[in-house]
Amino acid sequence: MLTLDHLVAAGTSLNIATEWVGNALTELPTGNGKHKYFGTHNDLWGMGPTCYLETIAIDRTAANPASARWFGLDNFVGPPRLVGWILATKNIRDTLTQLGPKFGAPVKLQRGKYTWEISVTKSGELPFGGYGPALIEWHDGFHPCLDLSDSKCRLQNLHIQHPDAEVMQSLLGDLINDDRIIFTKGVEKISAEIKKEQKLIIL
């Protein structure tokens, strides 16, 4: 089965994306890093033992990558918003074979003790026009949630709205056992309901 690993919000700069999420959660990020391969950088919030929230943007101080940046960042414009949801798998190659070429190919990355493979398309865009999931396989037992302070925020629901929502659900439904992920037919949008104590936050 695939499990929800993390959510990704992007901005035209990391400061803009992180301020947007930080203000909504009233929490500062407790992790950060750089991705040399894609020329991006990020901030992280822990949301329990198995899920986290990431803000990401192009790192203007980094060299331009040899390939398209992930999460469609080369073409990102407008206000900060959720741009991705990532499902963890125990075997990314088998899962990609099952889902088909539109989900991309695995790219192996390392940062410090973390080593992982993530699915990336040649264009950098996620499947279904940027609204389908990426896949990730973590190696060696290390995962960001083990090191992030708990923000006390918990994902309640992740809404994936798309004209082809039924196709997406048919393709992924048997592989995901998570009632929080809700597919709805409509204009493309990713949104999340996050609970912090008694407050419900919408991203």
Distance, first Cα to last Cα, the chain: 26
Which whole number is the average pLDDT over 162-175? 93
pLDDT at 173 over 90: no
pLDDT at 19 over 90: yes
Architecture of the domain whose range is 3-151:
Roll (3.10)
Beta bridge partners of 93: none
pLDDT at 145 over 90: yes
Which whole number is the average pLDDT over 16-43? 96
In angstroms and rounded to an integer, the radius of gyration of the C-alpha atoms of the chain is 16
> 17 burial class (0-12, 13-18, 19+ CB within 10 angstroms)?
buried
pLDDT tens profile 153-162: 999 999 999 9
pLDDT at 112 over 90: no
pLDDT at 177 over 90: no
- Give the pLDDT score at 198: 87
- Give the pLDDT score at 174: 87
DSSP reduced 3-state for 98: helix
Residue that is written with structure tokens 């929080």 in the block: 180
- Give the pLDDT score at 58: 98
pLDDT at 141 over 90: no
- Per the confidence metrics, is the pTM higher than 0.85? yes
Measured in degrees and rounded to the nearest 5, phi and psi for residue 166 equal -65, -40
Q: How sure is the predictor about 1, in pLDDT bands with cuts at 50, 70 and 90?
A: confident
Residue percentage of the chain with pLDDT more than 90: 95
- Give the pLDDT score at 7: 98
The rounded mean pLDDT for the chain is 95
Q: Is the Cβ–Cβ distance between 175 and 1 less than 8 Å? A: yes
Q: What are the sequence ranges of the domains in the chain?
A: 3-151
